[in-house]
Amino acid sequence: MDDGLLTRLRTWVNEGQGRTIALSSSAGAVVLATVLSVWLFARAGTTPRQAVKAEGRAVTFVCKGCGERGETRVTFGATYPIKCPKCGEVKGVKAFKCVRCSTIVEHVPNGVSRCPKCGFAYKSLADDQPRGRPQPGAAGQP
């Protein structure tokens, strides 16, 4: 290694043009990181999906204990039955919203789920599809 070249390189980095380049590139990285984090934060604040990620998974349930039906949030690894936010019992079973009247319909595994309000029938999904959505009318009209 040429010591003279190394010394000149050090001098070049510490003084003059090299220093300016080194400084501006690190400043640029800081600016980029700030812009990126602000952008990500803004997205987290405005995108529902991002908010859901932060708070857990939104699930629809029907409580077999107290009859409460609605939506709540659980951790991503959680499975049914879930803890009912009203009575605290772990009796919240899988449910979904009726596409016709928005009533919470209890999901009947491997059967037919029927809306208690409008009677619309849904062909139920297998239990291994926790995020799936039953197809309206697949089991025929009421």
What's the CA gap between 124 and 135, in Å, rounded? 8
What's the CA gap between 81 and 109, in Å, rounded? 13
Please give the residues from 25 up to 84 whose contact with Zn ion meets the rule CB under 5 A: 63, 65-66, 68, 84
- Taking contact as CB under 5 A, which single stretch among the options 4-12, 37-45, 111-119, 126-134 is the one that binds Zn ion? 111-119
Computed from CA positions of residues 12, 16, 20, 21, in that sequence, does the dihedral angle turn out positive or negative? Answer: negative
- Segments in 77-135 forming alpha helices (H): none
Taking CB under 5 A as the criterion, the residue among 100, 108, 136, 139 binding Zn ion is 100
- Alpha carbon 87 to chain centroid, angstroms: 26
- C-beta of 112 vs 118, nearer to Zn ion: 118
Min CB(105)–Zn ion separation in Å: 7
What's the CA gap between 84 and 92, in Å, rounded? 5
Taking CB under 5 A as the criterion, the residue among 101, 127, 130, 138 binding Zn ion is 101
- Alpha carbon 85 to chain centroid, angstroms: 20
What's the CA gap between 62 and 45, in Å, rounded? 29
- Binding-site residue total for Zn ion (CB under 5 A)? 15
- Taking contact as CB under 5 A, which single stretch among the options 22-30, 41-49, 53-61, 102-110 is the one that binds Zn ion? 102-110
- Taking contact as CB under 5 A, which single stretch among the options 10-18, 42-50, 98-106, 122-130 is the one that binds Zn ion? 98-106
Site for Zn ion, rule CB under 5 A:
63, 65-66, 68, 84, 86-87, 98, 100-101, 103, 115, 117-118, 120
